[in-house]
Amino acid sequence: MTRSTVVACVLVLVAAMAVVVGQTNPQIGTWTMNIARSTFSTGTGFKSATSRIEAVGGGVRHTLDTVYADGTSRKYEYITMYDGKDMPVIGNSPYGDTTAITHVDANTTRTVYKNKGTVTVIQISVVSIDGKTRTVTTTGTNPVGQTVNNVSVYDRTPSVAASCESLAGLVLKDTAITSARVVPAGQFLPPGSQETRGAANAYKGLQEFCRVAATLTPSGDSDIKVEVWLPTANWNGKFQAVGNGGWAGVISYSAMADAVRTGYATASTDTGHTGSGGAFALGHPEKLIDFAWRSEHEMTVKAKAIVNRFYGTGPRLSYWNGCSTGGRQGLKEAQQFPDDFDGIIAGDPANRTALAMWIAHAVKESGSYIPPTKYPVIHQAVLDACDALDGLKDGLIDDPTRCAFDPAALLCKDGDGPSCLTGPQVAAAKKIYSPVVNPRTGKLLSSPLVPGTELGWGDDAGPQPNANILDQYRFIVFKDPAWDWKTFDFDRDATRGDMPENLVMNATNPDMTPFFSRGGKLLLYHGWSDPRVPTLDLIQYYGRVVETMGGSSRASNSVRMFLAPGMGHCGGGEGPNVFDKIDALEQWVEHGRPPDRIVASHLAGGRVDRTRPLCPYPQVAKYNGTGSIDDAANFVCGVR
């Protein structure tokens, strides 16, 4: 074998090791060259070849073991980065002194090799959808001047899988696995619940799975509980992490069950504490960090290691699925840990703002308080004023920003009454519809609730502010459980509340370039009738993301937002609010088909009574003029 042939062969083999680091990187693993299926412009020269790729620190280690046709063997090992920048090769690589790697999409990488600053070889490595094979195309000129035009095919070498019970002995950093056992089909019950005679078990149809419980301690004050569920049969090869709500403090068992039903391995965390309020954070800054973002990331890293040990291979794709706090968690993952997930579903992201205080102060005086019995009256007046603005009277407000409803239309003419508003109540309703601003500087602190949200005002417009936000100010901002919310000042206190150390949980950074550049997809959604998290805040955030990416034409293949008329907080409401978000994300990530419409359903009495397409913003669903207005088939998506 000549030296030029050896070098050319090495160029082909190293293509199999050009990867992007990340827990979800499908190219990481052990690969064996399929000599019979590979073609080389300079001859094979190989009897066998094995490539091992593993994540290490900020890069990937490439180890190549080869046996040549003449019986000699060699081993090459080096480390390279994945940020697209030229990085020096460490070790005895014979094909160049630098390498630069970029991610084309979830399953494809592009590597540029240089020698003394001159490009030598460009390689495209594509992992099949099922994760079992990798095809590498190599073109360029090798270091001895030969033209290279090769196609090499690698087969993934399966790792040895583990039994469920043996996972109890798995050793992971900062992790204590407390339980690992198989749950028979239909036998799961959440902790603390009891099966009673005649009661419906929501988990009755759940398939058999391996249930792993663990405690994570990334800091000295951490006590993060996580669970990982692994289908014992018909695993789809993917991982789905599910988000939380409110202050968390509990595992999201229902969402985990939904993931397992569709073949996913899944995980959830209690975010590092028990209980539904924010008192845990008082005097415990590390626990606040765990809640804010660390528990989700640590859960993801450890869950993937458990998946890899149980199945003998890691997940080929990983998704996040969450709404409210879970929506915020998903955005935080994309912003801070771009390699954790290939696709993220983030609904109604619940960032902490002063909106709840604004609403509570609007109704805090006895005369301005609006009793819940009047919410339907206000809501009906809003529909009467704005329902038909989109040309269709269907009980829904297609775009509440076009609705100029004035609560003064309901002003009582002769004292108070059940179907009208007093003067102070009119003023309170107007304030609820008004942006939250600093009275001294005029700075926008939060978007308002929009017309159409009235049926859910009770969460914020009751005798006390929204409990989640009240705890935010009591335990995070003022660090005083006895703090009186009625003393809140929208200049002094709002400024204090917006200090970075008080908003460590918020996910407002619009620059997610690292996530998008590696092929990550972000699906945003929000209900227009959400009475807890203002839809307008997400619209503004989406606009900043698009601007950061260079405009809608560049952004549309990476991020899309869907607004649901009449849908409440994460679901429910008068409008269609049940839709398959996971399928839309799968089609986008796995088949390159961005969602151009998602059909949503509304149920009454357990039966579908209306379907309607949700459209990528700024498009809306437009009736085509024929057929039932309750059938999505009679609507098209378009810009108004």
From 477, 502, 527, the end of a domain falls on 502
Q: Tell me if residue 90 falls in helix, strand or coil.
A: coil
How many Å apart are CA 392 and CA 386, to the nearest integer? 10
How many Å apart are CA 560 and CA 558, to the nearest integer? 7
* Cα radius of gyration (the chain): 28
Do 206 and 305 fall within a single domain? yes
Do 368 and 433 fall within a single domain? yes
Do 15 and 141 fall within a single domain? yes
| Tokens, residue 450 | 């929009």
pLDDT per 10-residue tile (average), the chain, 640 residues: 44 41 66 85 68 71 73 69 78 72 86 88 90 89 81 79 92 97 94 59 90 98 98 94 97 97 97 96 98 98 96 94 98 98 98 98 94 98 97 96 97 95 98 98 97 96 94 98 98 97 98 96 98 98 98 96 98 98 97 97 96 98 97 96
Do 536 and 481 fall within a single domain? no
CA 88 to chain centre: 34
Query: 632: which DSSP letter?
Result: G
Give the Cα-Cα-Cα angle 47, 53, 58 (nearest 5 degrees).
Answer: 150
Do 552 and 625 fall within a single domain? yes
Q: Is residue 600 part of a domain?
A: yes
Do 467 and 495 fall within a single domain? yes
From 475, 502, 529, the end of a domain falls on 502
Q: Is residue 609 part of a domain?
A: yes
Among 137, 148, 147, 95, which Cα is nearest to 118's?
Answer: 95
Q: Give residue 466's pLDDT.
A: 95
Q: Is residue 488 part of a domain?
A: yes
Asked if 185 and 199 count as a contact pair (C-beta separation under 8 A), the reply is: no
Do 175 and 146 fall within a single domain? no
Instruction: Read off φ and ψ for residue 434, nearest 5 degrees.
Output: -100, 145
Q: Is residue 639 part of a domain?
A: yes
Q: Give residue 83's pLDDT.
A: 81
Contacts of 544 (CB under 8 A, 6+ apart): 510
Domain range for 375: 355-502
Q: Give residue 13's pLDDT.
A: 45
Q: Give residue 59's pLDDT.
A: 65
Q: Give residue 121's pLDDT.
A: 87
Do 151 and 8 fall within a single domain? yes
| Tokens, residue 512 | 């997610």
Asked if 353 and 377 count as a contact pair (C-beta separation under 8 A), the reply is: no
Q: Give residue 461's pLDDT.
A: 94
Q: Is residue 491 part of a domain?
A: yes
Do 379 and 421 fall within a single domain? yes
Q: Is residue 330 part of a domain?
A: no
Q: Give residue 478's pLDDT.
A: 98
Do 587 and 455 fall within a single domain? no
Q: Is residue 184 part of a domain?
A: yes
Instruction: Tell me the CATH number at 52.
Output: 2.40.128.120
Query: 50: which DSSP letter?
Result: E
How many Å apart are CA 585 and CA 592, to the nearest integer? 10
How many domains is the chain built from? 4
From 454, 476, 502, the end of a domain falls on 502
Q: Tell me if residue 213 falls in helix, strand or coil.
A: strand
Pair type for strands 108-115 and 98-105: antiparallel
SS3 labels along 269-299: ECCCCCCCCCHHHCCCHHHHHHHHHHHHHHH
Q: Tell me if residue 242 falls in helix, strand or coil.
A: strand
| Tokens, residue 630 | 């309750």
Q: Give residue 57's pLDDT.
A: 58
The burial of 517, by beta-carbon neighbours within 10 Å (0-12 exposed, 13-18 middle, 19 or more buried), is given as middle
Asked if 51 and 154 count as a contact pair (C-beta separation under 8 A), the reply is: yes
| Tokens, residue 482 | 């006895």
Strands (E), 7-45: 29-33
Catalytic residues: 324, 530, 569
How many Å apart are CA 354 and CA 470, to the nearest integer? 10
Do 360 and 489 fall within a single domain? yes
Please provide the DSSP assignment of 105-160 as one string. ETTEEEEEEEETTEEEEEEEEEE-TTSSEEEEEEEEE-TTS-EEEEEEEEEE-PPP
How many Å apart are CA 316 and CA 27, to the nearest integer? 9
Q: Is residue 240 part of a domain?
A: yes
Q: Tell me if residue 440 falls in helix, strand or coil.
A: coil
Query: 475: which DSSP letter?
Result: I
Residues in the chain: 640
Q: Give residue 65's pLDDT.
A: 74
Q: pTM surpassing 0.85? A: no
How many Å apart are CA 123 and CA 21, to the nearest integer? 17
β-partners of residue 231 are 209
Do 464 and 593 fall within a single domain? no
CA-to-CA separations, 109 to 82, 206, 308, 351, in angstroms, rounded: 10, 37, 22, 35
